[in-house]
Amino acid sequence: MKTVQIGPKSYKMPEGWAECTPEQIQALLPLQLLQPKQDDPATSALLKFAAAKVLLGAPEKLVNRLDAAQKWRLMRLARWVFTARIEKKPFNSFTFKGVTYLLPEPNYANTSAIEIAMANINYIAYVRTESPSIPAVFKLVATLCRPARKDAARWRASTDWNGDIREAYNTLLADDRAQQFQSENLPIGVVMAVLQYFEFMNNRFLESYRLAYEPTDDPDEPPLYQNGEGLVTTFMDIAKLGVFGDFDQVCKQNGHTVWMFLRDNNLKIRRANQRAEQA
């Protein structure tokens, strides 16, 4: 936090997303869609000053009375808003149309394999170069963010408790909620916060399990499935082995458990192939 003195009073000004309140995050992230441009200094100054006022949290009348030099210093302190990405859980939950939705824990600690797969499928659809799907980003939010279970107390006390208080993932429910999020205008700040949180967490997760996949001999060979469906078919293959049970049971496993199995299985296959080549 940066301490800013205005007259007799001092204010704490966040220097990164981790120091912001949920309200500040949701108000400021949309400004990234209006990136300040060097060839438009007037608009750039307005955007940075708007960000500075949200960060400072001082009465607007007081901030507007600052002289040009003071305003400039505040704007410099707000520059990070337009470039920094969310790298930690932005908030525990958000409430929309009277329903509170819980975010997943950091590092997919309480996230099932099927959630990770479906979130990735929706993410690929959203960021693809040709015909990106806007509804897909709302599906991603609905996949990861869900209400608390109605039987939360009993669930915590059961032998099946897995650390996840969110209701079990259901594709149909997620699709219905995604449609509501889009049609009834879930705040863009919420969508961006969840999206950036997912991107950071997902990239770290996939990097930690990069050895879970057998590299192809031809680097130019396209993947068997272009849109991420291969994640789900992989669960089908695991179900055939009976390691965790049937397909539904595989999907419900913690993501780390399933990807750890994939990594272990792939490493053993590699070693077996290496020994066969040396024989």
Asked if 24 and 135 sit in the same domain, the reply is no
Asked if 37 and 159 sit in the same domain, the reply is no
Whether residue 216 is contained in a domain is answered as: yes
Residue with more model confidence, 7 or 30 = 30
Domain that includes residue 70, residue range = 2-82
30-48 residue pLDDT tens: 999 987 777 778 888 889 9
Asked if 31 and 141 sit in the same domain, the reply is no
Last residue of one domain, picked from the residues 82, 109, 143: 82
pTM (two decimals): 0.90
For residue 34, the 8-state DSSP code is: G
Give the pLDDT of residue 104: 97
Whether residue 88 is contained in a domain is answered as: no
φ, ψ (nearest 5 deg) of residue 229:
-65, -20
Averaged pLDDT for residues 111-119: 96
Asked if 111 and 243 sit in the same domain, the reply is yes
Asked if 102 and 9 sit in the same domain, the reply is no
Give the whole-number percent of the chain exceeding pLDDT 70.
Answer: 93
Give the pLDDT of residue 218: 54
pLDDT at 255 over 60: yes
Rounded Cα distance, 260 and 202, in Å: 15
Structure tokens at 202: 């997902």
How many CA atoms lie less than 13 Å away from 182 in the CB half-sphere? Answer: 15
In this structure, the dihedral spanned by the alpha carbons of residues 45, 188, 89 and 24, taken in order and rounded to 10 degrees, is: 40
Give the pLDDT of residue 225: 54
Overall domain count for the chain: 2
What separation in angstroms does the CA of 99 have from each of 102, 146, 148, 180, 211? Answer: 10, 9, 10, 12, 39
Asked if 105 and 160 sit in the same domain, the reply is yes
**9: helix, coil or strand?**
strand
Task: Name the pLDDT band for 161 (thresholds 50, 70, 90).
Answer: confident
**93: helix, coil or strand?**
strand
pLDDT at 56 over 80: yes
Judge contact between 31 and 192, C-beta under 8 A.
no
Structure tokens at 91: 């908030």
Lowest-confidence region among 21-30, 34-43, 98-107: 34-43
Asked if 130 and 240 sit in the same domain, the reply is yes
Whether residue 278 is contained in a domain is answered as: no
Asked if 78 and 101 sit in the same domain, the reply is no
Asked if 104 and 195 sit in the same domain, the reply is yes
Rounded Cα distance, 36 and 195, in Å: 22
Q: Tell me which residue of 170, 27, 173, 166 sits closest to 90, measured CA to CA.
A: 27
Last residue of one domain, picked from the residues 82, 115, 150: 82
Place of tokens 């400004």: 31
Judge contact between 168 and 252, C-beta under 8 A.
yes
Asked if 127 and 43 sit in the same domain, the reply is no
Whether residue 275 is contained in a domain is answered as: no
Structure tokens at 26: 């949701």
Lowest-confidence region among 83-92, 126-135, 182-191, 209-218: 209-218
Structure tokens at 92: 């525990």
Compute the mean pLDDT over every residue in the chain, rounded to the nearest whole number: 90
9-13 and 2-6 beta bridge pairing: antiparallel
Averaged pLDDT for residues 166-195: 96
Judge contact between 168 and 150, C-beta under 8 A.
no
Asked if 45 and 141 sit in the same domain, the reply is no
